[in-house]
Structure 1
Amino acid sequence: MAHGSTPGGTRPTSRDVAQAAGVSQAAVSLVLGDKWRGRVSEPTARRVREAARELGYRPNLAARNLRLGRTRTVLLVVPALTTEFFAGVYTGAARVAARHGFGVVLYPSPEGIGPARDPFASAQAALDGVLASSMAADALSAIRGDQLPLVMLDSDPDGSLGAATVNLDIADGVRRLSDHLTGLGHRRVLHLAADIPSWTFDVRARELAARLAGVPGATVRTARAPIDIDAARDATLAAITAPGPRPTAVVCDDDKLAAGVYKAARRLGLAIPDDLSVTGLDDLALATALDPELTTVRLDAELFGEHGMRALLAVLDGREPDGGDIPVELVVRASTAPPRDA
């Protein structure tokens, strides 16, 4: 028998799968709709999947979606496509969505700030739900995405439009960075902050200030820059050459900002890490392209996207999403060392 056909040469149906697996059509529907757990045994589910694969069966999604009143499509709203982090978020989200028969439309909010034009005649008619980064939240009102089932990424749990939230444990990452630097003996710290109004960047500033406040003699100054290498260079030059003792370490909100610090240090004739320790946050590919390689906090973007999509699928099913922040990891490389005057 040719793959993808029944003995009569017709396209295989769920009834054919049921007969081949020796189960009911209802069981086939549960298994292929990924709703079998607790209702169908694992061996039976495996048998159904094998029968469907051997027959080349593909469910009629259009008919099924019509029946369920769903489009099987969700929207992922991100600030921009200019960073690999959000590409990773999309990859993780799309992977989980595909396992459940959903497609993901990626929608960048211009320059990371809204409002953005609705890409659909009606988002509510075209979509089942929305997964959105806090930095792109302004786009939601334009597409009326805030009136759809919604999960917010990297967002304040107390102020996310009443939606479920999925967060990386950024606060823990900043605490680890702070402890690493103070453990090396650094007391004069410059915080190169992303000049973007966002909860996630507020967390970075708050945690850094709180952690250093507990260290005798430690001080932190703040300079702001857009997430742009040349802008970060200029902001660092101004901060380091300002009156007063020079900082011995720079904590950056993002790895791209750290690259700007490297350019500023080179212009000033400062060696990293001998004269200036530098840390980033993200662990982009850029972190190991820099010389010396950058100490940073690794944020698993794909895992972040996976958790976000699972949370949205739970909301669509009327279930409570799993709680808890996603762990992060401090990656110590060659850009940090004890200060000369430690």
Structure 2
Amino acid sequence: MAPGSTRPTSRDVAQAAGVSQAAVSLVLGGKWRGRVSEPTARRVRQAAEELGYRPNLAARNLRLGRTRTVLLVVPALTTEFFAGVYTGAARVAAAHGFGVVLYPSPEGIGPAKDPFASAQAALDGVIASSMAADALTAIRGGQLPLVMLDSDPAGSPGAAATVNLDIADAVRRIAEHLLGLGHRRYLHLAADVPSWTFAVRARELAARLTTAPGTTLHTARAPLTIDGALAAAQAALTRPGPRPTAIVCDDDKLAAGAYKALRRLGLRIPDDISVTGLDDLALATAIDPELTTVRLDAEQFGERGMRALLAVLEGREPERGDIPVELVVRASTAPPPAD
């Protein structure tokens, strides 16, 4: 760091990376392609990140004609998952001299209002969750690069790239775990949200369970709230016919509602019924017994989304492949009770 300086400068980054200040300016300004080698660009970014270098955005914006601002559109700030997505995206953005504006799309009141008088004048790009797609219809600037998260790669018109967690594999892992324990009667507590990610969960669960002889699957839809899940699960569990031995929930919040419904009905977890979630939120270890679920790395999700947008802005091909997930087995699942 320069003598007497309280924050790193571009000269410090240049010295750490062993390059000129001009090279640092090109790399961190996104104009290095064809002028600086890829290994050198990586070295500059690493040095900037390690030093905690933050460029003078106002001066750079004037030079480059860019705002270096990205809009991140999410459904709502009601769970820690989207906070993690923002954290990951902002971390990568900051290392490249970008800022991230977080815009939650209001739930239940239709398309969101345009957060800017003109998106083209205020933004360099947009990252959006498929669950907040309605908000995009009100944000002008159709020429802006768009990266969709948790979205159908074949059905995202206008998107320059899509970034997904391996949701299909998450559901398969849950199904394999429960089938391995011997469960054959299932209740799917499904999120009542018209979104690609929840359609994938329903499709994959049905596809896997139908390959196992003697399985039955009943679906109950619920709002993405604990109270909504409680009501839907209680209604499904009291309908006529054999009771399910396992409840597969589309996310951990729905699983918490299922827990409450089971306790109201005097049923024990997992002795009478096993329960699974999906997300691995802090809630999963706060409820008793702790919840078997699938861990989705929200911060990595946000990082990949931001890196994809940066690649698009620089004319590079975004990284391909879904982000891996991890089954976390806890005390909410066990073999079914003997009939």
Q: TM-score, normalised by structure 1?
A: 0.89
Q: Find the counterpart in structure 2 of residue 302 from structure 1.
A: 299
Q: Find the counterpart in structure 1 of residue 157 from structure 2.
A: 161
Q: CA deviation at 1:80?
A: 0.1
Cα distance in 2 for partners of 1:239, 1:265 equals 11
Cα distance in 2 for partners of 1:20, 1:203 equals 46
Cα distance in 1 for partners of 2:18, 2:184 equals 71
Cα distance in 1 for partners of 2:16, 2:106 equals 51
Distance 1:29 1:242, change over 3 A: same
Cα distance in 2 for partners of 1:287, 1:296 equals 8
Distance 1:47 1:65, change over 3 A: same
Cα distance in 2 for partners of 1:175, 1:20 equals 46
1:140-169 deviations in Å (ceiling 9; x for gaps) = 110125541000000001111231100000
Cα distance in 2 for partners of 1:82, 1:40 equals 40
For structure 1, the residue ranges without an aligned partner over 5 or more in a row are: 6-11
Cα distance in 2 for partners of 1:162, 1:237 equals 42
Q: Which amino acid aligns with 2:190?
A: A
- Do residues 210 (structure 1) and 207 (structure 2) align? yes
Cα distance in 2 for partners of 1:229, 1:43 equals 45
Q: CA deviation at 1:69?
A: 1.9
Distance 1:139 1:58, change over 3 A: closer
1:104 alignment partner, SS class: strand
Q: Find the counterpart in structure 2 of residue 115 from structure 1.
A: 111
Cα distance in 2 for partners of 1:171, 1:126 equals 36
Q: Find the counterpart in structure 2 of residue 74 from structure 1.
A: 70
Conserved? CA contact 2:118–2:141, under 8 Å: no
Q: CA deviation at 1:44?
A: 8.6
1:110 alignment partner, SS class: coil
Q: Which amino acid aligns with 1:295?
A: T
2:153 alignment partner, SS class: coil
Q: TM-score, normalised by structure 2?
A: 0.89
Conserved? CA contact 2:14–2:44, under 8 Å: no
Q: Which amino acid aligns with 1:153?
A: L
Correspondence 1:47-86 to 2 at 5 A: 59-86=55-82
Q: Find the counterpart in structure 2 of residue 9 from structure 1.
A: none
Aligned residues: CA RMSD: 3.0
Q: Which amino acid aligns with 1:87?
A: A
2:305 alignment partner, SS class: helix
1:27 alignment partner, SS class: helix
1:61-113 deviations in Å (ceiling 9; x for gaps) = 32322232210000000000011000000000000000000000000000177
Cα distance in 1 for partners of 2:327, 2:215 equals 21
1:339 alignment partner, SS class: coil
1:107-129 deviations in Å (ceiling 9; x for gaps) = 00001774101111111110000
Cα distance in 2 for partners of 1:43, 1:196 equals 40
2:180 alignment partner, SS class: helix
- Do residues 186 (structure 1) and 183 (structure 2) align? yes
Distance 1:69 1:297, change over 3 A: same
Q: Find the counterpart in structure 2 of residue 249 from structure 1.
A: 246
Q: Find the counterpart in structure 1 of residue 226 from structure 2.
A: 229
- Do residues 288 (structure 1) and 285 (structure 2) align? yes
Percent pairwise identity: 80
Q: CA deviation at 1:24?
A: 4.7
Conserved? CA contact 2:28–2:45, under 8 Å: no
Q: Which amino acid aligns with 1:175?
A: R
Distance 1:341 1:73, change over 3 A: same
Q: Find the counterpart in structure 1 of residue 131 from structure 2.
A: 135
1:201-249 deviations in Å (ceiling 9; x for gaps) = 0000000000001000011100000011111111111101101110000
Q: Find the counterpart in structure 1 of residue 216 from structure 2.
A: 219
Cα distance in 2 for partners of 1:314, 1:304 equals 15
1:258 to 244, 255, 259: 255
